[in-house]
Structure 1
């Protein structure tokens, strides 16, 4: 019994260690090692049930390690008791762990030739259920395998996206368990192919570079929506706009802590006048109310043309809306989360105009969803993410989020501008590289220049569909080959 418990704890620890493969630590080989522990445990499990249990235990460690920072928003800023916040993290991680458990069970349940299962079926089932995790119940694709590969396998992102890169990494990992020579050849081939593909210019510069100023107000979350600090927030944002030198000035998500319609008109006029004096376009995150008082959006607008705004489409469950209120409504008795009933914007929206420049806006963790982001980015020269990571202040969440922005920049062949309240404010080029950034928890304005791009990568045209079809083909072919063999 003790020996079994130690084995399960070791497997969970292997899952949790994967967090060091992602930003900010970026020990990339730890991800294949963590996956290898999962694949090995599933392969040697004597029954389908124990294989699924191995997948669950590994997944529990994996997700507790990778999303533990949610505790900060629930307890520190949401006001939830510590024991309840920790319990919610554990329950959420247990739900997410069902996906690797399903992959493990499928790899043992589907009939296939024995020589197929470990090197092909298991890593395929793992990535297929990872995609399912990013889609089911609106999805939660955080800590997708491919996110850890934005440097090592960068060349594959414009072709196959994050799930394609993750699948290739998982397949290479499985080869090491079959035969170290196969593993070495597969890994070397992937790295060389990625380096070669990275030389292809899928998109091209469109017009001259544009100077941008991205403000990081560094307003604490427990002060942001406090009426006593409202005037201070207005002063901070106005001062940063006055300080900015760029042709485009960007303020982060809900930078002004009030509905646009409720913000003092004289203050909005000051913002416009300050931007006009600089001949600059000013984009800001804003909460936008609808003529219906019960409908409001988490939006982004150009201060000169507020009637055309981007409304966030992919809302955060439990943060921006309450799924199944009859089941989860009790949670909000403990949380102090303002504006937790946002309405959903349209799935496809036109870019925001900043002069002649077209900018595809996305808000908060919308840039975790590559297949959604590509649709609004096709007609834009730049992408811009507007976030408020103060909810997770002091954690690795901001770095992990910026890493996903790098994946989106690679997939779409476009620069990504990241405007955040407390960090990580940065500019990422079309190769997924950070060309400029501000330190976290510092009030400042990031001044740099960016290059608008035109054209479409294969991923922008086709999204995840080619990879999903390939995954499905393997999952269907394996049972057919297994039945034919038997």
Structure 2
């Protein structure tokens, strides 16, 4: 360890950059569904030791100097590994898009790493050489993670806190402090091994104490989760039986080759078929659910669709489906909405929700004219892009159905910003992860969604086009799931929501207190260093 610490402290230039790039890539192995948690303990101390040896600059160079480059390099390695699965989407379109795949992933990872670079730079401003310096870095890193999850539409994939949620037991702490609180904890724990090495001659037992304390915190997290799972009763609702369809509609990528009648045939056949002797069939369902992109065409192109859906549905059964929607009063050329439609047994649309949080480069292009000159367009077909709905309308009210929170695709990622959860009885998420078939993306997306169920104390119902379709109880435990790329249906139950969790009540006020205390520690330790 002495050799490694001294190497990191004395490294500079491209050698330090490469060292941190590799360390960040190792830390990236901690993301779902890999969950190599020891990778954080191995990699993150290098960040601390490099900051220990970083040159101090003045003025603006202090903000974008060596400390910034240290955090940027670590983040670039981390996010390149964490986001590598996004490259699978380029294989769908092929051509020039496939050529751009490595460039696009590296550029995206670099843009996100900019936040970690700033966290490193600000931490170095308040840097000290005592044990409190890891609190300083963990504080600014958490602020950076919150910022990248909210600024410029937000991109909260693979927050560092997800490394502490590999099991249902460890996941339960999210009900108290949320995923950003877990991010602070993961950063602090991952940085702790840096304190084992010290140049001040402290006894080994004192230097090992913080590391063993970190292990004790993880044990306490497991214990809390076990007690919550064992001591929290969950009750199934008897008024909801959902039939989730995973149809593998790959025509979503090219609307020019869509045969609406054939797609409706497939969806109806799947909805009505029995997958085994214990499958009660569509007659036992209260709702049938088709995922996002299940209908990769406008219903006006195939007006018979609503009539066929009405004939499929038994009396009192409602279909909830992903679809593209253009308001009747819209002018020609108006961008469509990515929507959820509720259709009753008479073939009538009785409720809808329009996706409010669109995916950058997926459903809209920032600086569209510039990218168009390079031949780049958004992945989801739609020449004029897609329109964003009203985020205040996420609570869907469907006749005969308890109110639920409608979330399309990655809208489920935004912890604490899902919408009005006071009246919500369960979380309803439809998605199309077929863009990322064969990668870790679908499993990662599904895991993020499970953590939202724990935070809010509500059941999650999630229907995916090609995986992962699943349902959970309010504690995030999976009650049923379909494998990726499995064309099948499954029955899903919904549980009564729990009493509001601490996170649901107070959101990030406890985290704010922690961050303020962390900033006070940073200032105090920095002033103490200056006096010394």
Give TM-score scaled by structure 2 length.
0.83
**Which residue number corresponds to residue 71 of structure 1?**
87
Note the C-alpha offset of 1:263.
Answer: 4.8
C-alpha spacing 1:420/1:122, structure 2 compared with 1 (3 Å)? same
Counterpart of 1:359 (choices 404, 429, 436) is 404
Does the 8 Å contact 1:224/1:233 carry over to 2?
no
2:272 corresponding residue in structure 1: 242
Report the Cα offset of residue 451 of structure 1.
Answer: 1.5
* Match of residue 218, structure 1, among 248, 266, 271: 248
Q: For the residues of structure 2 that align with 1:19 and 1:240, how far apart are their CA atoms?
A: 38
Counterpart in the other structure of 1:255: 294
Verify: 1:445 aligned to 2:478, yes or no: no
* Counterpart among 103, 117, 120 of residue 135 in structure 2: 120
Alignment equivalent of 1:196, drawn from 224, 234, 237: 224
Matched, 1:84 2:100: yes
Structure 2 residue 348 is the aligned partner of structure 1 residue 303: no
Specify every segment of 5 or more residues in structure 1 that has no aligned partner in the other structure, as ranges. Answer: none
Decide whether aligned partners of structure 1 residues 192 and 476 sit closer, same or farther in structure 2, where only a CA change above 3 A counts: closer
Q: Cα–Cα, structure 1 residues 319 and 431, in superposed 2: closer, same or farther, change >3 Å?
A: same
User: Is contact 1:38–1:55 with CA below 8 Å preserved after alignment?
Assistant: yes
Kindly state the Cα deviation for residue 66 of structure 1 after the two structures are TM-superposed.
1.1
Residues 230 and 269 of structure 1, relative CA distance in 2, 3 Å threshold = closer
> Which of 355, 366, 380 is equivalent to 1:312?
355
| Alpha-carbon shift at residue 284 of structure 1 (Å) | 0.6
Confirm whether residue 285 of structure 1 aligns to residue 326 of structure 2: no
SS of the residue 2:36 aligns to: coil
Of 51-60 and 134-143, more deviation after overlay is shown by 51-60
Task: Structure 2: give runs of 5+ residues left out of the alignment.
Answer: 1-9, 57-61, 196-206, 274-280
- The superposition leaves residues 156-178 of structure 1 with CA deviations (integer Å, 9 ceiling, x where unpaired) of 21111100011112112223322
Q: What displacement does 1:14 show?
A: 2.4
Deviation digits for residues 369-415 of structure 1, max 9, x if unmatched? 01211x33332221111111111121111011011011101101111
1:21–1:31 contact (8 Å) kept in structure 2: yes
Question: In the alignment, is the contact (CA less than 8 A) between 1:56 and 1:98 conserved in 2?
Answer: yes
> Would you say the 8 A contact 1:216–1:422 is kept in 2?
yes
Work out the CA distance in 2 between the residues paired with 1:448 and 1:66.
Answer: 31
Residue 213 (structure 2) pairs with residue 185 (structure 1):
yes
- Is residue 61 from structure 1 mapped to residue 77 from structure 2 by the alignment? yes
Shift of 1:469: 4.4
Whole-angstrom CA distance in 2 between matches of 1:434 and 1:237: 25
Q: Can you list the C-alpha shifts for 1:203-246, whole angstroms capped at 9, x where unaligned? A: 96474373221111112256662434433222111212223533
- Compared with structure 1, are the counterparts of its residues 85 and 418 closer, same or farther at alpha carbon in structure 2 (3 Å cutoff)? same
1:351–1:376 contact (8 Å) kept in structure 2: no
Structure 1 length-normalised TM: 0.90
> Pick from 302, 305, 308: which aligns with 1:267?
305
Q: Is the 8 A contact 2:163 2:186 kept in 1?
A: no
Kindly tell me the number of residue pairs found equivalent between the two proteins: 482
Structure index of larger Rg: 2
Q: Are residues 229 and 264 of structure 1, via their aligned partners in 2, closer, same or farther at CA, if it must alter by over 3 Å?
A: closer
